């Protein structure tokens, strides 16, 4: 499922002409299914394909593409300069039975030859045993000549000129979405590969997000083609969740419904895809967020997300009932 800014822009700017006032704080006056076919909706598989497989492996990316979603890769460089997909700073979590010495090391401390010997699948379960880290060049080769295959690249620690050269070598500039929390990185990447999509991800409570959005508003969201906000349910055990913003009892999220509606409206006015990452396995959140004007999802549960989106689109009221 995919959409692009160039495809969306005419629909978004036209649909917002006149800035129609919001009728209620629990539903936006703009809905994705009125503007974009289901097969064009972007779903990002967190760290590959979410909980369906181990992180950042070729098998995870292939499964994501088979599902029709965009896998996410986390980019780092080995000691000898090979760009690879790997999330953590060290190997403690994803290399099962790693020695105490290895647990303290990370991708930057190993050559690619050394890194490629590590089993990064067994921690997820016996059925994933033996899976390895491969160079991003191998992933890019699987995308070459396959325009339906897209990839998010979340920057951890890499050299942009080297990455840009590899992307251009395989001719996949328009299939890449460069993701970062730092807008300066996004603009630096855009200068190197202007054809690429970009995603700025944001985390925080409403006050923090408003502060950051004001900064991007001053630049008219320069360089940003997608923007992602992390959304948590009011009740969560996630220690990274921001504080709950005051809201009515029927507001299911830590961020207010009205705030999410407002953000979506502003982003559409700038031609920016509004993506959210719901940090929950509750299947009901997708319909609620679509009602608030959300356009795209990142998720750890892509199978669940796909199921709920299909149901949401299938339940679209007929024109006679509107």
Q: Give per-residue pLDDT as tens, 174-215.
A: 999 999 999 999 999 999 999 999 999 999 999 999 999 999
Q: What angle do CA 135, 148, 267 make, to 5 degrees?
A: 95
Q: Is residue 129 part of a domain?
A: no
Q: Is residue 66 part of a domain?
A: yes
| pLDDT at residue 1 in the model | 59
CB atoms within 10 A of CB 12: 22
| Alpha-helical regions (H) of 41-127 | 58-67, 100-103, 112-115
* 25: CATH: 3.20.20.190
Q: Is residue 152 part of a domain?
A: yes
For 229, the domain range is: 5-88+134-321
Q: Is residue 29 part of a domain?
A: yes
Q: Is residue 48 part of a domain?
A: yes
Task: Write down the pTM of the prediction.
Answer: 0.90
Q: Is residue 295 part of a domain?
A: yes
Is residue 33 over pLDDT 60?
Answer: yes
Tokens standing for 70? 């965009």
Mean pLDDT, the chain, as a whole number? Answer: 91
What's the structural domain count of the chain? 1
Length of the chain: 322
Q: What percent of the chain has pLDDT over 90?
A: 87
Q: Is residue 102 part of a domain?
A: no
| pLDDT at residue 65 in the model | 98
Q: What percent of the chain has pLDDT over 70?
A: 90
The Cα 267–Cα 213 span in angstroms is 10
Q: Is residue 302 part of a domain?
A: yes
Mean pLDDT, residues 37-57? 97
Mean pLDDT, residues 79-104? 96
| pLDDT at residue 310 in the model | 98
| Residue whose C-alpha is closest to residue 174's, from 294, 66, 70, 49 | 70
| pLDDT at residue 249 in the model | 84
Is residue 16 over pLDDT 90?
Answer: no
Strand partners, 108: none
């Amino acid at each position: 499922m995919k959409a692009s800014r160039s495809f969306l822009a005419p629909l978004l700017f036209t649909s917002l002409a006149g800035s129609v006032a919001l009728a209620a704080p629990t539903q936006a006056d703009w809905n994705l299914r009125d503007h974009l076919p289901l097969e064009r909706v972007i779903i990002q598989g967190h760290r590959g394909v979410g909980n369906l497989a181990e992180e950042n492996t070729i098998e995870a990316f292939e499964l994501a593409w088979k599902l029709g979603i965009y896998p996410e890769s986390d980019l780092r460089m080995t000691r000898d300069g090979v760009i690879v997909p790997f999330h953590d700073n060290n190997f403690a979590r994803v290399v099962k039975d790693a020695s105490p010495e290895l647990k303290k090391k990370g991708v930057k401390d190993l050559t690619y030859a050394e890194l490629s010997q590590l089993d990064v699948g067994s921690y997820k379960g016996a059925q994933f045993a033996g899976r390895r880290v491969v160079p991003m060049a191998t992933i890019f080769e699987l995308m070459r000549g396959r325009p339906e295959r897209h990839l998010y690249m979340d920057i951890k620690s890499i050299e942009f000129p080297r990455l840009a050269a590899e992307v251009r070598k395989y001719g996949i500039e328009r299939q890449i979405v460069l993701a970062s929390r730092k807008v300066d990185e996004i603009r630096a990447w855009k200068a190197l590969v202007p054809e690429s999509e970009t995603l700025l991800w944001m985390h925080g409570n409403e006050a923090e997000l408003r502060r950051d959005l004001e900064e991007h508003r001053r630049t008219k969201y320069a360089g940003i083609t997608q923007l992602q906000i992390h959304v948590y349910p009011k009740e969560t055990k996630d220690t990274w969740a921001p504080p709950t913003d005051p809201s009515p009892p029927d507001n299911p999220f830590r961020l207010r419904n009205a705030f999410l509606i407002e953000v979506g409206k502003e982003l559409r006015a700038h031609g920016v895809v509004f993506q959210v990452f719901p940090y929950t396995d509750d299947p009901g959140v997708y319909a609620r967020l679509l009602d608030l004007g959300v356009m795209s999802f990142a998720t750890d549960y892509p199978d669940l997300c796909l199921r709920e989106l299909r149901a949401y689109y299938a339940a679209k009221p007929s024109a006679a009932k509107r």
